[in-house]
Amino acid sequence: MRTNSIFKLLIRLLLFIFFFSIIYSSAAAENAPRFTLFNEKDNLVKLSTLLEKTNIIVAFWASYCVPCKREIPQLVEIEKKYGKEKNFKLVLINIDKEGKEKGLPFLKDINISNECLFDIYQLTIKKYVPDMKIPATFIISKKGDIVFKIIGESEENIRKFETKIMEMK
């Protein structure tokens, strides 16, 4: 009989720990890793400077990435549609080792004129996506927290992303 009450107590304790861990993990925001990268004009751009005025969408991509070629125009459209209302800016980060030599012709090819930063040593993407899977897109709040992320390509990811943008205040 004593074993039965200890077992029930143990089960209650495990359930408490399980539910507490779920609540805590969903409530805890992940800080966005800081970065300083060059843009197409060879000016250094810091994450902290970008966040002074607005929330940002950071999209990692490369010229060899076919899904990126499809996703970037969709992200640009989302920025055009909700950027002012929801106070965010799209920041493209190219991870080609050749930098501008590969990145800028790619953007011109798909008719994109957004500011682009260059992570030629791939140090920044490794902080966000250690396995460097792209496309990888993050919403970062003005507080510097990652509030949403999508890794890889799918229509469902873009729909979820747009839904999250619409929920922003």
Q: Which residue ranges make up each domain of the chain?
A: 31-167
Secondary structure, 3-state, the chain: CHHHHHHHHHHHHHHHHHHHHHHHHHHCCEECCCCEEEECCCCEEEHHHHCCCCEEEEEEECCCCHHHHHHHHHHHHHHHHHHHHHCEEEEEEECCCCCHHHHHHHHHHCCCCCCEEECCCCHHHHHHCCCCCCCEEEEECCCCEEEEEEECCCHHHHHHHHHHHHHCC
Q: What are the tens digits of pLDDT across the range 59-106?
A: 999 999 999 999 999 999 999 999 999 999 999 999 999 999 999 999
Q: What is the pLDDT of residue 58?
A: 97
Provide the whole-model pTM. 0.81
Q: What is the pLDDT of residue 18?
A: 47
Q: What are the tens digits of pLDDT across the range 32-49?
A: 999 999 999 999 999 999
Is 168 or 16 the better-scoring residue by pLDDT?
Answer: 168
User: What CATH architecture is 31-167?
Assistant: 3-Layer(aba) Sandwich (3.40)
**Is residue 24's pLDDT more than 60?**
no
